[in-house]
Amino acid sequence: MAEENRSLAGQTADALIAYIVDRGLEQGDRLPNEKELSGLLGVGRSTLREAVRMLSSRNILEARQGAGVFVSGNTGVSDDPLGFTFIRDKQKLAADLVEFRMMLEPRVAALAALRATPAQADELAALAWAVEQRYAAGARHTQEDAAFHAKLGELSGNVVIPNLEPIILGAIDLFIDLTDARLKEETLSSHRAIVEAVRANDPIAAEDAMTLHLVYNRNRLRELLARDGQTEDTEERR
């Protein structure tokens, strides 16, 4: 009986997704109340609640106390989709994430340059400026940096890229932690070059600027890993 109920809840979850898609609901839109929705789907309220819990765990729906059920603001994307939290060797993870970013982000920047409007280029410039402001204040700039890269993903016009945002955010956050944000000038100059390339609709320049940005990151990380390795060797000899 329990397995049958879970199956019905799963079918109801699929029906809820179809409802969202068919009606063109967007992030932040509110679903009908429980009574109306259970009637629309032809299921009991307990089954509907279980389906909502299932979709909430997948970050598709968000249940707000006293307000109702809403389409999630980051639909279907978990904060840690690939389980990086459970990888113990953070230095190895950081190096591999830079490698991954080098395979992806230069092309993303090129697509953004091809497709961005002048207004969108201005939005990107504002995000780059926000990073500079945080640097100038001596404050952590992870969110601003991630927003800059997320905007490039949005401007690429590829619907898959924004769903990779948690990976990029995790990579930036981890890199800043390991390097103590020491690539200030390289980061800022690279961001400016990317913005100017996007503004000029120059995909080659955008791709080159992003590649250089990531090369700075990779080289800095290699220096740190080499230094840490030497420190460990020295301590072992003692």
pLDDT single digits (tens) 20-48: 888 888 888 999 999 999 999 999 989 99
| Dist. CA 196–CA 206, nearest whole Å | 8
Domain check: are 49 and 93 in the same one? no
In the chain, the percentage of residues whose pLDDT exceeds 90 is 37
Domain check: are 25 and 142 in the same one? no
Domain assignment present for residue 94? The answer is yes
User: What's the number of domains the chain is made of?
Assistant: 2
Count of other CB atoms within 10 angstroms of residue 183:
19
- Whether 41 and 19 have beta carbons less than 8 Å apart is answered as yes
| Dist. CA 145–CA 127, nearest whole Å | 8
pLDDT at 63: 86
pLDDT at 126: 97
pLDDT tens readout for residues 81-113: 566 666 778 788 888 888 888 999 999 999 999
- Confidence category of residue 1, pLDDT binned at 50, 70, 90: very low
Query: DSSP class of residue 79?
Result: S
pLDDT at 169: 74
Domain check: are 131 and 205 in the same one? yes
Count of other CB atoms within 10 angstroms of residue 145:
25
pLDDT at 184: 72
- Compute the CA torsion angle 217, 219, 220, 223 (nearest 10 deg): 160
Domain check: are 226 and 178 in the same one? yes
pLDDT at 182: 57
Question: Can you give the CATH number for the domain in which 11 is found?
Answer: 1.10.10.10
pLDDT at 175: 74
- Average of pLDDT values for 118-138? 93
Domain assignment present for residue 130? The answer is yes
pLDDT at 179: 67
In the chain, the percentage of residues whose pLDDT exceeds 70 is 85
pLDDT of 158 > 90? The answer is yes
- Distant-in-sequence, close-in-space partners of 234: CB < 8 Å, separation ≥ 6: none
Q: Which residue among 24, 45, 71 closes a domain?
A: 71
Domain assignment present for residue 110? The answer is yes
Domain check: are 118 and 205 in the same one? yes
Domain assignment present for residue 63? The answer is yes
pLDDT of 2 > 50? The answer is no
- Confidence category of residue 3, pLDDT binned at 50, 70, 90: very low
Between residues 121 and 236, the one the model is more confident about: 121
Angle between helices 165-179 and 203-237 (to 10 degrees): 50
Q: Which residue in the block uniquely carries the two structure tokens 């009986």?
A: 1
Question: Residue 65 sits in which domain range?
Answer: 2-71
Question: Can you give the CATH number for the domain in which 155 is found?
Answer: 1.20.120.530
Domain assignment present for residue 77? The answer is no
Domain check: are 54 and 108 in the same one? no
Domain assignment present for residue 79? The answer is no
Domain assignment present for residue 175? The answer is yes
Between residues 140 and 137, the one the model is more confident about: 137
Kindly report the average pLDDT of the chain as a whole number: 83
The pTM is what? Answer: 0.66
Domain assignment present for residue 78? The answer is no
Using DSSP's 3-state secondary structure scheme, residue 32 falls into: coil
